[in-house]
Amino acid sequence: MITLAVDCMGGDAGPRVTLPACKKFLDAHPDARLLVVGQPEALQSFQHERATLVAASEVVTMDDPVEVALRKKKDSSMRVAISQVKEGAAQVAVSAGNTGALMAIARYLLKTLEGIDRPAIATQIPHAKGGATTVLDLGANVDCTAEHLVQFAVMGSALVSALQEKENPSVGLLNIGEEAIKGSEVIKRAGELLRAAGQSGYLNFQGNVEGNDIFKGTVDIVTCDGFVGNVALKASEGVASMITGGLKQEFKRNLFTKLAAAVAYPVLARLMKRMDHRRYNGAALLGLRGLVFKSHGSADVVAYEHALNRAYDAARNDLLGRVQTKIQTAAPLLMPADSPAVAATVTSSI
Amino acid sequence: MITLAVDCMGGDAGPRVTLPACKKFLDAHPDARLLVVGQPEALQSFQHERATLVAASEVVTMDDPVEVALRKKKDSSMRVAISQVKEGAAQVAVSAGNTGALMAIARYLLKTLEGIDRPAIATQIPHAKGGATTVLDLGANVDCTAEHLVQFAVMGSALVSALQEKENPSVGLLNIGEEAIKGSEVIKRAGELLRAAGQSGYLNFQGNVEGNDIFKGTVDIVTCDGFVGNVALKASEGVASMITGGLKQEFKRNLFTKLAAAVAYPVLARLMKRMDHRRYNGAALLGLRGLVFKSHGSADVVAYEHALNRAYDAARNDLLGRVQTKIQTAAPLLMPADSPAVAATVTSSI
């Protein structure tokens, strides 16, 4: 039996999306149980033999500063859901709430794993070959050292092995050129460490990759600073919505184009389905002593159900154990990033 | 009369693309002259009353390391073209060659402007409103200080005022959230400096923007570190080609989809034209004591002609003078980024 603790209040639509998704998820997974966390009056309509209501009196809003979420709202649905994981009542928590608050609360309650300085956020991005590239970090860490980038690579490898059942997934370092001499000092040093890890067999490192490789599907995992990852992801979303918005506009232009749209619709729908990012909803918070998954705040029922599926798969395939094993195996690589030798390297990179 | 020095050997296709583009450009601009630079045997077929052949015996290849381009190939078409600007024989140089080599040679020959620590590469990216966002830096500078980001904003403002005839273009700072507290220490400090510049009227600063804002057209100019700018640009190109590649694949699937493609073609062609990045070919190297434009290496004749048009517009609208005036006006903001006070700020950000 796998138990998920679900923050049913989080996300733009709250229980209107989370509850129907929970229902579908439970129907599809006979070996799953849910702890449905939130304000009882909002959740009381939800009844399922494998669901238990866990009351939480407060809700973290999208605009709440991290400090408010962490220090004031101690009975928030987000926090109570994560507490279930801490206390062992659930194997994984899921929330569509405020990312900054979720990471802060998760880090505070669960603590980071030994060998990891900073937890990271990893998500899958669909690529042209039909699969998805796992990218991390996506915004939890804005000033990364070379060692952090190696830690992300190790955690990303564990994630892909757990969710996609690939034993030795390939890793690329996001850079501005394929050549090893490209990039900042931090990136060059990360490249050296990753090459060493590849040679020792700790990681399947394939070298530098560029922004477009995320969408080509060149490697399974792309490791990058959270600032760069976040900008790349949002820029990509921007292009995609510009193109789909433009398509809609052009097809609505006049009677002829509307007819053309009707004819082209099945073809376009097939493409949209193939590239539907909802299928990849559910980002993992990695590097913590417990599993937490983040759904897009704007997720609909389909997308939210996918986030629940991913969290379930991660728990069932022992993501936490895999991350820990990977970290232990790769321990020689994961020296603390704040050691004096490393600090010196970083300072000299400016 | 505006004179452009054109490195006709640069780019993936060399003279096969550059010469027909030069011909079209000259026919469209009766007040323009070209210095057609390259190996005489490759260019001798080109005849035009307003074109002069300038011989250069060597060619910088796409794979040449910067040092080779700079120190060994002293008679390269790229270098000879830039020399024409230095000597006053041309107002602007254009090349589709190796970007790293172009920047290094341009910097070596032309030197940077007073008040600018590092030249930057700026390009226009089409946005959903039908115009284009000017983004810089795109890869010349991978470890930027807050002051560099301000310098980019100043140079970008001069570029937009010269090319788009907007007197007070708006500037955004690329970040991972709109709130001023987001981002690394360098970014936060850049935000403070830019806000101060906005309050003093030196710049029309609109605050932080995110990756998707580039494609929404939220501001005229987006300033960012070259690493982030390069990754965002390439990631965006990656999404765009994934979507267009997917469309082609789906439309080719069977007889019905091929028919649908025939019906939808005029609509799709209109969209493609609207978003055609060739119209925006021609990145400016800013911050030098002379004008240099860079075309995409893979440019076709249409794209290359656009790069020539942009270089011509920049020269005609006195981009160099505008950059210099902007820098002088904003001098109080542009204190050298390597001063001890700044270095301390930067070090503490790690």
- CATH number of the domain to which B273 belongs: 3.40.718.10
Cβ-Cβ contacts under 8 Å, B238 against chain A:
211-216, 236
Q: Which amino acid would we find at residue B349?
A: S
Same domain membership, residue B270 and residue B129:
yes
Can you tell me the distance from the alpha carbon of B211 to that of B9, in angstroms, rounded to the nearest whole number? 35
Residue B55 has what pLDDT?
A: 97
Q: B183 with B98, same domain? A: no
Do residues B122 and B72 share a domain? Answer: no
Q: Are residues B345 and B189 in contact, defined by beta-carbon separation less than 8 angstroms? A: yes
Centre a 10 Å sphere on the Cβ of residue A236 and count the other Cβ atoms it contains. Answer: 27
CB-nearest partner of B214 from A183, A238, A271: A238
Print the domain residue range for A335. Answer: 123-277+327-350
In a domain, residue A163? The reply is: yes
User: B94-120 as b/e, with b when 16 or more CB fall inside 10 Å?
Assistant: bbbbbbbbbbbbbbebbeebebbbbbb
Joined tokens for residue B223: 């300033």
ipTM of the complex: 0.86
Burial of A199 per CB tally in 10 Å (0-12, 13-18, 19+): exposed
Average pLDDT over residues A323-340: 72
Q: Do B241 and A212 touch (CB under 8 A)?
A: yes
Q: How far apart are CA A147 and CA A149, in angstroms?
A: 5
- The last residue of one of the domains, among B82, B110, B138, is B110
Average pLDDT of chain B, as a whole number: 90
Confidence of residue A306 (pLDDT cuts 50, 70, 90): very high
Counted domains in chain B: 2
B244/B335 same-domain check: yes
Asked if residue B310 is part of any domain, the answer here is no
Distance CA B96, CA B119 (A): 18
In chain A, whose CA is at the least distance from the CA of B127? Answer: A242
Mutate to test the interface with B, among A225, A251, A267 (most CBs of B within 10 A): A267
Contact assessment for residue B251 and residue A237, using Cβ atoms and an 8 Å cutoff: no
Q: Are residues B122 and B267 in the same domain?
A: yes
Q: What gap in Å lies between CA A184 and CA A64, rounded to an integer?
A: 35
Interchain proximity B231–A227, CB inside 8 Å: no
pLDDT in tens, B79-114: 999 999 999 999 999 999 999 999 999 999 999 998
Per cent of chain A over pLDDT 70 is 95
Residue B287 lies in a domain: no
Q: How confident is the model at residue B334 (pLDDT cuts 50, 70, 90)?
A: low
**pLDDT at residue A343 in the model:** 35
Establish if B294 belongs to a structural domain. Answer: no
Residues B18 and B151 in one domain: no
pLDDT band at B264 (very low <50, low <70, confident <90, very high): confident
CB of B129 less than 8 A from some CB of A: no
Residues B236 and B264 in one domain: yes
pLDDT at A167 over 80: yes
Mean pLDDT (whole number) for A120-143: 91
Query: Minimal CA–CA distance to B136: which of B126, B118, B149, B117?
Result: B149
* Chain A residues within 8 A of B174 when measuring between CB atoms: 231
Determine the residue among B239, B263, B276, B347 to mutate to test chain A binding: the one whose Cβ has the most chain A Cβ atoms within 10 Å: B239
Q: What is the pLDDT of residues A174-213, one digit of tens each?
A: 999 887 778 889 999 999 999 999 998 899 999 999 999 9
Q: Cα A50 to chain center, whole Å?
A: 26
Q: What mean pLDDT is reported for chain A? A: 90
Report for A104-113, B115-124, B327-336: range of highest mean pLDDT: A104-113
Rounded alpha-carbon distances, angstroms, from residue B285 to A20, B139, B199, B341: 54, 11, 28, 28
CB contact under 8 A, B231 and A232: yes
DSSP letter at A112? B
Token readout for A328 is 């232990």
Mean pLDDT of B271-286: 86
Residue A263 lies in a domain: yes
- Do B207 and B98 share a structural domain? no
**H helix intervals, chain B:** 15-28, 40-43, 66-67, 77-86, 99-110, 146-163, 185-199, 213-216, 226-251, 255-274, 301-316, 319-329, 340-348
For A235-293, the pLDDT digits (tens) are 988 888 888 888 888 888 888 888 888 888 888 888 888 777 788 899 999 999 999 99
A227: nearest CB among B184, B226, B233: B184
The helix-helix angle for A146-164 and A340-348 (nearest 10°) equals 100
Tell whether A241 is within 8 A of chain B (Cβ): yes
Domain CATH number, residue B30: 3.40.50.10950
Under the banding of pLDDT at 50, 70 and 90, the label for residue B341 is very low
Instruction: Report if residue B299 sits inside a domain.
Output: no
Question: What token pair was written down for A329?
Answer: 């195996």
Residue A340, CA atoms < 13 Å, CB-side half-sphere:
0
Amino acid at B201: G
Specify the DSSP element, H or E, that contains A302: helix A301-316
How far is Cα A216 from Cα B12, in angstroms, rounded to an integer? 22
Q: Is the dihedral of CA A209, A211, A214, A216 positive or negative?
A: negative
State which of B76, B95, B110 marks the end of a domain.
B110
**The pLDDT value given to residue A140:** 85
Both B165 and B181 in one domain: the answer is yes
Nearest-angstrom CA–CA distance, A43 and B169: 50
Q: Based on the domain organization, do B24 and B93 belong to the same domain? A: yes
Cross-chain Cβ contact A139/B176 below 8 Å: yes
> Residue A319 belongs to what H/E stretch?
helix A319-329
pLDDT at A256: 86
Residue A272's H or E segment, with its range, is helix A255-274
Q: What are phi and psi of B330, to 5 degrees?
A: -90, 10
Is the residue at B330 inside a domain? yes
Of B176, B226, B266, Cβ closest to residue A227: B176
B contact residues 281-340, partner A, Cβ 8 Å cutoff: none
3-state DSSP assignment of residue B14: coil
Nearest 5°: phi and psi at A317? -95, 20
Cβ proximity of B80 and B56 under 8 Å: yes
Using CB atoms, which residue from A211, A215, A234 is nearest to B212? A234
Kindly state whether A125 is in contact with chain B, defined as any CB-CB distance less than 8 angstroms: no
pLDDT tens for each residue of B171-184:
999 999 887 778 88
Q: Is B274 near chain A, with CB under 8 Å? A: yes
User: Between B154 and B261, whose confidence is greater?
Assistant: B154
Claim to verify: residue B79 and residue B103 sit in the same structural domain = yes
CA distance A136 to A256: 45
Using the 3D structure, point to which of B93, B110, B127 is the last residue of a domain: B110
| Contact between chains at A241 and B128 (C-beta distance less than 8 A) | yes
Residues B33 and B173 in one domain: no
Q: Is residue A75 part of a domain?
A: no
Number of A/B CB contacts below 8 angstroms equals 194
- What residues of chain B lie within 8 A of the CB of A243, using their CB? 240, 243, 271, 275
